[in-house]
Amino acid sequence: MCGILAVLGCTDNSQAKRSRVIELSRRLKHRGPDWSGLHCHGDCYLAHQRLAIVDPASGDQPLYNQDKTVVVTVNGEIYNHKELRAQLKSHTFRTGSDCEVIAHLYEEHGENFVDMLDGMFSFVLLDTRDNSFIAARDAIGITPLYIGWGLDGSVWFASEMKALSDDCERFMSFLPGHIYSSKQGALRRWYNPPWFSEQIPSSPYDPLALRKAFENAVVKRLMTDVPFGVLLSGGLDSSLVAAVASRHLADSQAAQQWGSQLHTFCIGLKGSPDLKAAREVADYLRTRHHEFYFTVQEGIDALEEVIYHIETYDVTTVRASTPMFLMSRKIKSLGVKMVISGEGSDEIFGGYLYFHKAPNKEEFHQETCRKIKALHLYDCLRANKSTSAWGVEARVPFLDKEFINIAMSIDPEWKMIRPDLGRIEKWVLRNAFDDEKNPYLPKHILYRQKEQFSDGVGYSWIDGLKDHANKQVTDAMLTNASFIYPENTPTTKEAYYYRTIFEKFFPKNSARSTVPGGPSVACSTAKAVEWDAAWSKNLDPSGRAALGVHAAAYEETAGTKAANQNNGSPQQPQGTLEKTATVA
């Protein structure tokens, strides 16, 4: 990952303004510690902080077309850059960077080229011939991007809010799958897949086609000139990523540089479900496995830094980002700069445990569509920013455009959770990789129950966070929360605590509006809370809140409730570190 900052159309082009842009760009240096670049043209500034993954020697940014009239600053990876270069035979390229094709595609096709890009990206492109510019973000929002406006009429773009929040009067998250054109002065959607309308698809389930599409998605993401590995929690999604990467690594160019044994990484509290499951998968795949531990106190101590980097106060995201943030620091210390991760599968296949209560295939499918559209506010944000905090890039094959198209075209009847037919959550994915002759994974791993990352690292992690928040936030503070925070009012002490930290770093109204709100159970959207009347009384984003579904669901008996009231302690869930949640 890299960090980009662009300021376009500002009235001040003095040395002081240049120095200010450089100063703000340095706030993104964690994203790109390898090199810094700045291009100034009149009243426009394009800055870049580079994390070198492809062509480290010559791919410094900003990048240009042949005569340097088109300038582009990019954060991301373009996996089909070689195919695109082959279509641009009349163009002369200056570097081996995958992102250089963007400048040449614009020169060839104007603004209507973004859908040709296969990858994850946020970019700002300046055409110096008429001083026009465009900015665009990838289809799902894997890479972060913000847009802001200055009082002097300037338009700003940045990878993270911290680079523009102080100097913009108003700013917001740049919508995924959209392009901004200075000629039109507005955002428009360039990404228009069939599933976006939420119409119910009817294509039959083809397990081999689904498997092939995912394998292609993983292989694409082996494009690297630096050491890499896979984040392995031992759950279905990360285990499939590791299994496919391990199978195809020997045939990749990456293996010629870094060897054919895959590195895998896992973090958890000692004795946690993830550590045990990840070790078993790593042993099965014969990966070079790295196991990291953290304590609840170490996680709590990191909270302020985590919230500063991830730029959100969403409870689920903070819970899950903290161990990922700590793990990324360890990974970087080993010299690894890129990891492949399993985000996106639960949204596409209805893998969250609350999908057990979907009343019909129509509502099931519409909820998956809503979840994918919101990924940029949750898991994509977490995966990108908590790794980029330490100069590590996260790639997510489940969010490959072609894979999503195939997976979302399947008749959702096949995705429905049907215990009577032996179908648990994500059965269509599990079944696609259930190969008796050449197994990808052991059966019990392939059919392990969904475990949210913040739960899987150790159940006492969330319990410890709640205890800590209870000590920091008084009853009176929570009672008056609606007066202090009238927008997205926190309803728990944990949420209140995260909000106070966020507001310290990002006090503007625009900042708090970038964070989503609304009721949720086990990571559901507000709409899906309606599926079960009991959920409205247990609005917690942990997977264990899916009462009657998770094998370690929150339990509240009269005895335990009375005991907690007697000793004055807050109500605690009964899940323990030793309690695994597997489905054979």
Burial class (CB in 10 A: 0-12, 13-18, 19+), 420: exposed
pLDDT at 177: 98
pLDDT at 528: 82
CA 412/CA 198 separation, integer angstroms? 11
pLDDT at 567: 40
At 276-321, the pLDDT tens digits run 999 999 999 999 999 999 999 999 999 999 999 999 999 999 999 9
β-strand partners of 8: 44, 155
The tokens describing 243, both together, are 């299994």
pLDDT at 524: 80
Diameter of the chain by CA atoms?
A: 79
What's the Cα-to-Cα distance from 560 to each of 15, 360, 571, rounded to whole Å? 66, 36, 8
**Cα 129–133–137 angle (5° rounding)?**
145
| Binding-site annotation, residues for ATP | 231, 267, 341-342
Active-site positions read 2
Instruction: Kindly report whether the global pTM for this prediction surpasses the value 0.85.
Output: yes
| Residue ranges, the chain, pLDDT below 70 | 450-456, 458, 521-522, 536, 539-584
